[in-house]
Amino acid sequence: MSEQATNGQTSVDEEYEHHGGFPKFTAATPGPNFGPFIEAMRTLQDLAVSIDAPDDVLAEARAQAEALAALLAPYEAKEGEATGGRVIGLPGRGSLLMLPWMIEKFDAEGVRSRGVFRRYHLGGNAAAHGGVLPLLFDDIFGMTVHAAGRPISRTAYLHINYRKVTPLNVPLVIEGRVDRVEGRKAFVSARLTDEAGTLLADSDALMVQLLPGQQ
């Protein structure tokens, strides 16, 4: 069982191990090539959205991409068994969907993560696409309720204030915390800043604990 902070005190949430209809995930410990493989795939994502290549080069790249897909297809695993998303020590936990950020703090007081938005996340004029910020905030909120000892929850609402343009390739910091708990409801908030502390965006959300069997 995990512990959570409530009004400055630490308490045990008796429902922490209840996962609704979710399977119970465990951390993955892949071999040394998985991390570099994921980074290479991220680089390919960056290039795929930024190149201006002749068609013969694209034909060769397509053939290599299709060959890679054929190589990996026999090893497709179901949710909870695939390596991606379960490697805590990798950026984005080894998931290409998640932003390639690293967790620096993970406890009942809150979660802090640091990273950059890459070329793949470009929205326009050297700024991150506004649509990737909800992904970043939603991910930090999921980790925040987990770190606070709350059972698995779903996002009921998520509100974002875009305070300034969010740049690419600049080190940024996001910090989330649980503000208050009301039964199955956890009200959470987070701030995205640059390393100098300039506020770029902030968010608040409601995370609702799943009932038994809920997805």
pLDDT at 212: 80
Mind listing the pLDDT tens digit for each residue in 27-55? 999 999 999 999 999 999 999 999 999 99
Per-residue pLDDT tens digits for 191-207: 999 999 999 999 999 99
Handedness of CA 148, 150, 152, 156 (dihedral sign): negative
Please report, in tens digits, the pLDDT of each residue of the chain (215 residues total). 333 333 333 343 455 455 565 667 789 999 999 999 999 999 999 999 999 999 999 999 999 999 999 999 999 999 889 999 999 999 999 999 999 999 999 999 999 999 999 999 999 999 999 999 999 999 999 999 999 999 889 999 999 999 999 999 999 999 999 999 999 999 999 999 999 999 999 999 999 998 887 76
Domains, the chain, in order of start with CATH, read 23-89 (no CATH), 99-215 (3.10.129.10)
Residue 87's identity, in one-letter code, is: V
Cβ atoms of residues 83 and 34 within 8 Å:
yes
| Number of other CB atoms surrounding residue 172 within 10 Å | 22
Question: Distance of CA 156 to CAs 17, 138, 151, 211, Å?
Answer: 21, 11, 15, 14
Contact 100, 92 (CB under 8 A): yes
